[in-house]
């Protein structure tokens, strides 16, 4: 497979391809043309060809894409053939929601632990996993080969926790705190800024009214 640099815009679209290809696979579809995929996904066929060409010849002229093969290949590109160990920092409602969401496990994302600073919450169990004190953070990460930390804590706490995480073996932070984190470049950060998303919806609603 080619390993040239792929833009983050393309990467952002890959999970959606994976979702649609998974549905096609479930429906028993073996191959699909870029035109058919285009009408399902409501993106142009040329965009699909351009995106998928980044990964080298999956499509064949006049034949289309092999669904299962393409599904597997995109899965591999996204690291879905590997297992990742996660912890959640912040055992509030959002932390609970993510911890309970089983589909992540099917994708190889294994939640190993959940942390909080609130003494009323520490020691309680979620799905048979005990909420731990943030004091144990570094030790737990080392002992359990944790790759990804999920931050579901207020922004004031997030900066300090991110700094602590920077000194561990953590490779990625999935950040729900409403602040941009400042971490060394070997740590990847993926932000989910929910307010930003809601504001974008607000813009589009109000624009529609003009």
Alpha helix segments (H runs only) across the chain: 8-26, 34-41, 45-53, 67-77, 93-100, 103-106, 137-143, 155-166, 194-209
For a copy of itself, the binding residue among 124, 167, 169, 171 (CB under 8 A) is: 171
How far is residue 2 from each of residues 14, 91, 188, measured CA to CA in Å?
16, 41, 22
Can you read off the two tokens belonging to residue 149?
């930390």
Closest CB to a copy of itself among residues 29, 194? 194
SS3 (DSSP) at 58: coil
Is residue 198 involved in binding a copy of itself (CB under 8 A)? Answer: yes
Minimum distance from residue 60 beta carbon to a copy of itself (Å):
25
* 8 Å CB contact between 144 and 174: no
The mark string for 64-103 relative to a copy of itself (x by CB under 8 A, - otherwise) is -------------xxxx-x-x-------xxx-xxx-xx-x
Residues that bind a copy of itself (CB under 8 A): 3, 8, 11-12, 14-16, 18-19, 41-42, 77-80, 82, 84, 92-94, 96-98, 100-101, 103-104, 107, 109, 147-148, 171-172, 174, 178, 180, 186, 188, 190, 192-206, 208-210
């Amino acid at each position: 497979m080619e390993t040239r640099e792929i833009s983050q815009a393309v990467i952002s679209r890959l999970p959606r391809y994976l979702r649609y290809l998974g549905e096609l696979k479930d429906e028993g579809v073996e191959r699909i043309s870029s035109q058919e995929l285009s009408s399902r996904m409501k993106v142009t066929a040329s965009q699909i060809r351009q995106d998928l060409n980044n990964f080298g010849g999956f499509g064949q002229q006049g034949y289309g894409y092999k669904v299962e093969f393409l599904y597997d290949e995109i899965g591999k590109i996204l690291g879905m053939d590997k297992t990742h160990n996660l912890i959640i920092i912040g055992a509030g409602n959002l932390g609970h929601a993510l911890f309970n969401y089983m589909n992540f496990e099917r994708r190889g994302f294994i939640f190993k632990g959940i942390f909080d600073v609130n003494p009323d919450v520490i020691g309680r169990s979620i799905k048979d996993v005990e909420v731990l004190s943030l004091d144990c953070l570094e030790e737990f990460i080392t002992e359990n080969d944790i790759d990804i930390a999920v931050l579901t804590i207020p922004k004031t706490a997030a900066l300090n926790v991110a700094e602590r995480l920077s000194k561990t073996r953590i490779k990625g932070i999935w950040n729900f705190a409403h602040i941009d984190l400042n971490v060394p470049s070997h740590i990847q950060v993926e932000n989910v800024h929910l307010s930003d998303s809601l504001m974008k919806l607000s813009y589009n609603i109000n624009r529609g009214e003009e």
